[in-house]
């Protein structure tokens, strides 16, 4: 399962690197799109983990609530970059939106408190959270150049 998690992260990074638009607005938007797609896929995986009995119903509920909170943060990030675009802001404003989002993820239970009893499932859930962190770090690094 660890190999699968590593493969997931590697392929996401490769796909992200080969599909970036050029403007700060486009790059910032693409990062937000990628994050919500990762969370959508993650929700599908978490539900399947519960269906096959790897995690409990309570664990699925806690994980999905944490993912929903991250998706809500992502939607707020989308509103932030939209506002920056309308205001004609430079790249720094888009970086600021991503940094606010990134700060929010550090308080996320998905990253620090959420625990499930099955270690394989824990690794999968952790890789979903790490994908969100990596996507944000990537866009901040790219826009900050």
Choices 24-32, 86-94, 96-104, 106-114 (CB under 8 A): range interacting with other proteins: 24-32
| Residue 118 lies near other proteins (rule: CB under 8 A) | yes
- The burial class, CB within 10 Å (0-12 / 13-18 / 19+), for 115 is exposed
| Residue 65 lies near other proteins (rule: CB under 8 A) | yes
Choices 75-83, 90-98, 99-107, 109-117 (CB under 8 A): range interacting with other proteins: 75-83
Q: What is the Cβ-side half-sphere exposure of residue 110, based on CA atoms within 13 angstroms?
A: 28
| Residue 38 lies near other proteins (rule: CB under 8 A) | yes
Phi, psi of 88 (to 5 degrees): 70, 30
Q: How far is the CB of 128 from other proteins (least distance, A)?
A: 10
Q: How far is the CB of 45 from other proteins (least distance, A)?
A: 5
Q: Compute how many residues bind other proteins; rule: CB under 8 A.
A: 56
Cα 97 to Cα 75, 92, 110, 112, distances in angstroms:
11, 9, 21, 22
DSSP 23: S
H helices present in the chain, as ranges: 2-17, 24-51, 57-86, 91-106, 109-112, 119-144
| Residue 11 lies near other proteins (rule: CB under 8 A) | yes
* Residues of this chain that bind other proteins (CB under 8 A): 1, 4-5, 7-8, 11-12, 15-16, 18-19, 21, 23, 25-26, 29-30, 32-34, 36-41, 43-50, 52-54, 57, 60-61, 64-65, 67-68, 71-72, 74-75, 78, 81-82, 85, 118, 120-121, 124
């Amino acid at each position: 399962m660890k190999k699968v998690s590593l493969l997931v992260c590697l392929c996401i990074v490769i796909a992200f690197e080969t599909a970036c638009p050029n403007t700060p607005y486009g790059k910032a938007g693409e990062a937000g799109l990628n994050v919500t797609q990762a969370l959508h896929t993650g929700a599908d995986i978490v539900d399947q983990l519960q269906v096959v009995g790897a995690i409990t119903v309570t664990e699925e509920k806690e994980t999905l609530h944490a993912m929903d909170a991250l998706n809500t943060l992502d939607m707020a990030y989308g509103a932030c970059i939209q506002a920056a675009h309308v205001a004609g802001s430079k790249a720094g404003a888009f970086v600021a939106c991503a940094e606010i989002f990134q700060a929010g993820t550090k308080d996320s239970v998905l990253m620090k408190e959420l625990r499930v009893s099955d270690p394989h499932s824990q690794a999968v859930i952790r890789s979903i959270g790490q994908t969100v962190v990596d996507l944000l770090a990537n866009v901040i690094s790219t826009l900050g150049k």
